[in-house]
Amino acid sequence: MTSQTAERQGVAVPVDQNLPSDDEAYSSEIASYATSLTSAVTNYNWEYGRRYHSYKEGSYKFPNDEREQDRLDMLHHMFKLVLNDRLFLAPIENGPIRVLDIGTGTGLWAIEFGTSFDVKLTPLTVMGNDLSPIQPPWVPPNVVFEVDDVEAEWPERPPFDFIHSRYMCGSIVDWPRLAKQAFDHLKPGGWIEFQEFHLVNYSEDGSLKEDNDVNLLFKLLQEACDRINRPVTIGADLERIVKETGFVNGKHQVFQLPLGTWPRDRRMKDIGALNMYQMLDGLEAFTSATFTSILGWSIEEVQAFLVRVRQAAKDRSVHILHNLYVKSLMKGYQLTMI
């Protein structure tokens, strides 16, 4: 077992031996999982500025008409499944007052966090920022969104009690600077949590070969993002990145993410189904611009390659995994000499 495997939580992921025997049935199974789980991801009920997830609260289809926004919403649900229905792992149960969600995307994390604490007992304010104003127009009164670039100089404002950063791989050039700015904008005793993929595929049983087209896709994406200094293999580097920033009480956890419904465990199977569906649904988003403008491919070459990727993804004998790294850190209290 490699050192990469040894540091992960849990044991090897058991393989479901009762998978469908043909490609069409397997594709149907993936679609079935995605259909049943998508309702828990893309249907939302808004009442009096409150957001209710249909997975628990009922049924209301939120009007997400942008394909990428739908994929991000699905990823939000997948992250929660991985974290056992939690939004974060940092020990802030007493309830922070001011929260910042970096790169909030569609804003679901910020909105759900804003409604997850009793606002009658906790004066909670959640701010989410992003380059694009794609968040819903109706939000809880304690949640606000702003258009901002987290890589620019952060504006002066009262410090935060908790800062959350998720799925920013491939988006950030200077991670040490991002960590430093977050540190400077936290209160002493405040926490930051990074939740990041490390997009390097592996298998525990040797079923993933170097020439597998899904594996090649990830390697090419890594190459393209490395060329523009926006790495997608950031998860495993978080320990090094934050080491010199000044954070203390670091909590570091690694979670395995299957690709596909091959795991025997039902929860891992659900995670794998969502992961496979969002990956396949995002193929054009991942590759059209990056492969043509950075790697020099023609769009026809990209499309032909994606046909092979989709075919390789249906191979039930290949048990692909990659990792999610969750790093929670506290800003310490400065001692004053008397």
Residues whose CB falls within 8 Å of the CB of residue 76, separated by 6 or more in sequence, listed in order: 41, 105, 106, 108, 109
Q: Which domain holds residue 227?
A: 18-331
pLDDT score at 119: 61
pLDDT score at 32: 62
- What does the angle CA 290 – CA 292 – CA 297 come to, to the nearest 5 degrees? 125
Residues whose CB falls within 8 Å of the CB of residue 110, separated by 6 or more in sequence, listed in order: 99, 101, 104, 126, 127, 128, 135, 143, 145
Please provide residue 225's backbone torsions phi and psi, each rounded to the nearest 5 degrees.
-70, -35
Classify strands 247-258 and 160-166 as parallel, antiparallel or unpaired. unpaired
DSSP secondary structure letter of residue 122: S
pLDDT score at 118: 65
Torsion, CA 192, CA 180, CA 157, CA 163, rounded to 10: -10
Secondary structure of 307-332 in the HEC alphabet? Answer: HHHHHHHCCCCCCCEEEEEEEEEEEC
Q: Is residue 4 part of a domain?
A: no
| CB distance 80 to 87 below 8 Å | yes
pLDDT score at 307: 97
Q: Is residue 12 part of a domain?
A: no
Q: Is residue 132 part of a domain?
A: yes
The CATH number of the domain where 293 resides is what? 3.40.50.150
Weakly modelled stretches of the chain, pLDDT under 50? 1-7, 38, 40-65, 336-338
Q: Distance (Å, rounded) from C-alpha 59 to C-alpha 321?
A: 32
Number of Cβ atoms within 10 Å of the Cβ of 22: 10
Q: How far apart are the first and last CA of the chain?
A: 53
pLDDT score at 106: 92
Q: Is residue 106 part of a domain?
A: yes
Q: Is residue 338 part of a domain?
A: no
Cβ burial 213-249 (10 Å sphere, 16+ → b, else e): bbbbbbebbbebbeeeebbbbbbbebeebbeebebee
pLDDT score at 31: 63
Q: How many domains does the chain have?
A: 1
Q: Is residue 9 part of a domain?
A: no
pLDDT score at 194: 97
Q: Is residue 336 part of a domain?
A: no
Q: Is residue 158 part of a domain?
A: yes
